[in-house]
């Protein structure tokens, strides 16, 4: 598997999906290639964490 150059769907920057990353995805059974660059993936994860820490579904205060 050669490295692939992909384009991030959020910011439009091109990033490399390395041979090692492709093998990892295949090993985990993922069938889709990543659609976001590492920076956008990191930002998205952080936003989810921040949102979870604000008190979601299970954190009701009556």
Torsion angle (degrees, nearest 10) of CA 21, 23, 28, 34: 40
Per-residue CA distances from 52 to 6, 7, 11, 47, 59 (Å): 30, 28, 24, 9, 10
Where are the domains positioned within the chain?
Answer: 4-53
User: From CA 13, how far away is CA 15, in angstroms rounded?
Assistant: 7
Contact 57, 28 (CB under 8 A): no
| Per-residue pLDDT, 59 | 54
Instruction: Note down pLDDT in tens along the chain; length 62 residues.
Output: 899 999 999 999 999 999 999 999 999 999 999 999 999 999 999 999 888 776 656 555 55
């Amino acid at each position: 598997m050669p490295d692939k150059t992909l384009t991030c769907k959020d910011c439009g920057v091109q990033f490399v999906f390395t041979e090692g990353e492709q093998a990892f995805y295949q090993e985990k059974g993922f069938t889709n290639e990543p659609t976001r660059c590492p920076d956008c993936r990191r930002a998205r994860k952080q936003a989810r964490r921040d949102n979870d820490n604000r008190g979601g579904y299970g954190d009701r205060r009556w």
